[in-house]
Structure 1
Amino acid sequence: MAERERPRRLLRLVQEGRLDLLRDELHPEDIPEARSRRWGRLGDTLLHHAARMGHRDVLEFLVRELGMDVEVANGDYKRPIHEAASMGHGECVSFLLERGASVDCLKKADWTPLMMACTRKNLEVISSLVEHGANPLLRNKDGWNCFHIASREGHPEVLRYLLDVSPGIWDTESTIRRTPLHTAAMHGCSRVVELLLERCHYRPDSRDKCGVTPFMDAIQNGHLDIARMLLEKHQEGHGHTILTLLSLGADLQAQDGKSRSALHAAVAGQQAEATRILLRAGLRDTPDGSGTLAQQLARKPEVIQVFQESQVTT
């Protein structure tokens, strides 16, 4: 084998998890170069690649027998534990922690291994990091903690765990004052929104720096089931929100997957003011996928009165 091909072969063997061939391939004189060699634009080491691919045995070989440093960082300051956590490789995370890897080390943009683990639904990895002292309240450069990240990914199981180990973790805002509820509503994570409304205490119509509320995020992105949940939970202030949406040119004619409109959402939430504004804005009461008109969902006298005043008939 040509000398210039040897590093590529070593990398391939690590990526494929071929520990037997890796042992045979590495001669004593190759070890110093293998230990310090970097690959790619960011300068990943063999340890980064082993952790990313989830090869615990290769990882252990590189650390124990080649003496590679578990805290080695690439050009983005990402360490092997970031790689293992982000890919959900529990055995690799456990080994690196046993060998003294820093549990709250920061990569570029101030992401911790726990934050990266929360991009996946792997409670084994998340709980392992927390049990080894990871701080769930740390924030990245955008002001997001791991709870915010899990809200974006739509993982209610992860959020329940985080609330159990850190009950106040929900009370957080990004640098532009967006809450996890904003994020979940914008991304259409209905199960997460339901959980957040049940277990957390977000202010009705909390606004980010641009004045956007979770309800506005839901409407603007066509998540009317979430808009309905927010209307039902947060009883006040949505009239002003809808007026703001109209002034911004939001498409209130949008329908969800069951052909329900914003009017269905407002009436299901028994929101008289919101219903009145939508009807005055010209939103027609059309049947949803089940043939139900929004008017048929009216229960409160004041909502029924709105339809009577607007002369809307079934």
Structure 2
Amino acid sequence: MIRCYHERPQDLLSAVHRSDIDWLESNVRHLNVDWQTCVHSKSGDTALHVAAQAGCTQVLGWLLSNGCDCCLEQQNLDGKRPLHSAVQASHLPIVKILLDHGVTVDPLKRADWTPLMLACTKKNLQIVKYLISHGANVRLVNKDGWTSFHLACREGTEAVILYLLELDGSLWNTVSNNGRTPLHTAAMHGRKSTIQLLLSRGNYAADEADACGNTPLMEALRMGHVEIAEMLISDHQASLFAKDKTGRMGLHIAAEAGQLEVVQLLMEKYSVDVNLLSDTGLTALHCAAKEGQLSVVDALLNMGCNIDTQDENGRTALWLACGGRKSMCVKKLLQLGAQDIADNKGTLPSQLMSF
């Protein structure tokens, strides 16, 4: 008796996952399966998604020969198609089979990721080349304005980056919706060789800022990438005194992020003033205390940072630590002599947090 296979789709999908073609032959072959509704309850994956993830070409071929080709372009609950799944799992033979069956090469997963973008995050040059040979667009952008090249720079895969630049030498100059260049991305993720490659191939301004005013050097300082920061300063003439949109400089940013090694480097090697003020009157001590960065607070005070400096709103480091309820920093500041000074509105630190 021919019937639709819908009672226990998880059994079928489990067999596909474990590449059990004998089970499929015995239990499914002679049934009228509604493949498009036979999906995983939580992910929405079809049998093709599961086969693509598992990487078994024999099972994939069996599915395509037994009616599952209707799911070639079906999306799961995350917007992925089987091609996305194959690329994400780095299964080149599956990618080839799907493309040979005419699937769309550049589908966007909820306007976010194309298969080529996923391939660039997986560092798989073979899949990158194969997708491009089938028409994948290297300049396609997702909803955030990222290209495959941005993602390749994030991962730092030199072979992929070089290949993309061979196809389009101007890719270094792509900018995301928030103004971030591939150099920003590589600096944030600590990709030294990628930065060297980008600086040799591109014409980046020394202090090119994104929409928030962040430069690549600021990203390296924020993330504690000391070697990259030094390279950007020496080889790219990046300025330690460039300001973000709030008027903060590298020292303030590193202190806020708790990057003690960076803070020490800036003052010891580059002679940055420990009392350097942002446009709103913040010192590095303000920034560190607000975020509870105890080791940085301690170091800044040992290096001579004024403990009771007030910003344009009259707030001291103690005021900000109390406002953020950073009890350990409050205790340290009080031990070292911080005063209970009111801000411009008359609010005392001790009113924000009892000590």
**Which of these two proteins has the greater Rg computed from alpha carbons?**
2
TM-score, reference length from structure 2 = 0.69
% same residue = 40
Higher relative contact order (CA 8 A, sep 6+): 1
Report the structure, 1 or 2, having the larger helix content: 1
Q: Distance in 1 between matches of 2:196 and 2:264?
A: 18
Q: CA deviation at 1:279?
A: 7.2
Instruction: Please name the residue that 1:288 is paired with.
Output: none
CA contact (8 A) 2:240 2:250 kept: no
Change (3 A) 1:109 1:41: farther
Work out whether 1:255 is the aligned partner of 2:257: no
Q: Distance in 1 between matches of 2:109 and 2:237?
A: 42
Q: CA deviation at 1:250?
A: 2.7
Q: Distance in 1 between matches of 2:266 and 2:157?
A: 26
Instruction: Please name the residue that 2:39 is paired with.
Output: 38
Give unpaired runs (5+ residues) of structure 1: 268-274, 284-314
Change (3 A) 1:253 1:66: closer
Instruction: Please name the residue that 1:118 is paired with.
Output: 120
Q: Distance in 2 between matches of 1:239 and 1:7?
A: 61
Change (3 A) 1:194 1:278: farther
Residues 138-189 of structure 1, C-alpha deviations (whole Å, 9 max, x = no match):
0100110011111122222211111111211121111111111111111112
Q: Distance in 2 between matches of 1:76 and 1:179?
A: 27
CA contact (8 A) 1:86 1:116 kept: yes
Work out whether 1:223 is the aligned partner of 2:225: yes
Q: CA deviation at 1:103?
A: 0.5
Instruction: Please name the residue that 1:245 is paired with.
Output: 250
SS of 2:187's equivalent? helix
Q: CA deviation at 1:41?
A: 2.9
CA contact (8 A) 2:224 2:259 kept: no
Give unpaired runs (5+ residues) of structure 2: 277-282, 285-355
CA contact (8 A) 2:88 2:119 kept: yes
Work out whether 1:195 is the aligned partner of 2:201: no
Q: Distance in 2 between matches of 1:4 and 1:133?
A: 37
Q: Distance in 2 between matches of 1:150 and 1:260?
A: 32
Q: How does 1:81-100 map to 2 (within 5 A)?
A: 81-100=83-102
Q: CA deviation at 1:5?
A: 6.8
Instruction: Please name the residue that 2:73 is paired with.
Output: 71
Q: CA RMSD in A?
A: 2.7
Q: Distance in 1 between matches of 2:216 and 2:107?
A: 32
State the one-letter code of the partner of 2:151.
Answer: I
Instruction: Please name the residue that 1:277 is paired with.
Output: 272
Q: How many residues in Structure 1 have an aligned counterpart in Structure 2?
A: 269
Instruction: Please name the residue that 2:21 is paired with.
Output: 19
State the one-letter code of the partner of 1:43.
Answer: G
CA contact (8 A) 2:40 2:46 kept: yes
Moved more, 112-121 or 70-79: 70-79
CA contact (8 A) 2:121 2:152 kept: yes
Q: CA deviation at 1:207?
A: 0.5
Instruction: Please name the residue that 2:210 is paired with.
Output: 208
Change (3 A) 1:261 1:276: closer
Work out whether 1:163 is the aligned partner of 2:165: yes
Q: CA deviation at 1:222?
A: 0.7
Change (3 A) 1:96 1:88: same
Change (3 A) 1:216 1:135: same
CA contact (8 A) 1:254 1:262 kept: no
Q: CA deviation at 1:195?
A: 1.8
Change (3 A) 1:249 1:165: closer
State the one-letter code of the partner of 1:133.
Answer: G
Q: CA deviation at 1:203?
A: 1.4
State the one-letter code of the partner of 1:138.
Answer: L
Q: Distance in 1 between matches of 2:125 and 2:242?
A: 40
Instruction: Please name the residue that 1:55 is paired with.
Output: 56
State the one-letter code of the partner of 2:47.
Answer: L
Instruction: Please name the residue that 2:342 is paired with.
Output: none
Q: Distance in 2 between matches of 1:178 and 1:246?
A: 21
Q: CA deviation at 1:67?
A: 4.1
Q: Distance in 2 between matches of 1:245 and 1:39?
A: 49
State the one-letter code of the partner of 2:88.
Answer: S
CA contact (8 A) 1:35 1:68 kept: no
Instruction: Please name the residue that 2:138 is paired with.
Output: 136
Q: CA deviation at 1:254?
A: 2.6
Q: CA deviation at 1:214?
A: 0.5
State the one-letter code of the partner of 2:265.
Answer: S
Q: Distance in 2 between matches of 1:33 and 1:279?
A: 69
Moved more, 240-249 or 130-139: 240-249
Q: CA deviation at 1:75?
A: 2.8
Moved more, 194-203 or 97-106: 194-203
Q: Out of 168, 175, 178, which is 1:176 matched to?
A: 178
Q: Distance in 1 between matches of 2:260 and 2:200?
A: 27
Q: Distance in 2 between matches of 1:79 and 1:183?
A: 27
State the one-letter code of the partner of 1:25.
Answer: N
CA contact (8 A) 1:87 1:117 kept: no
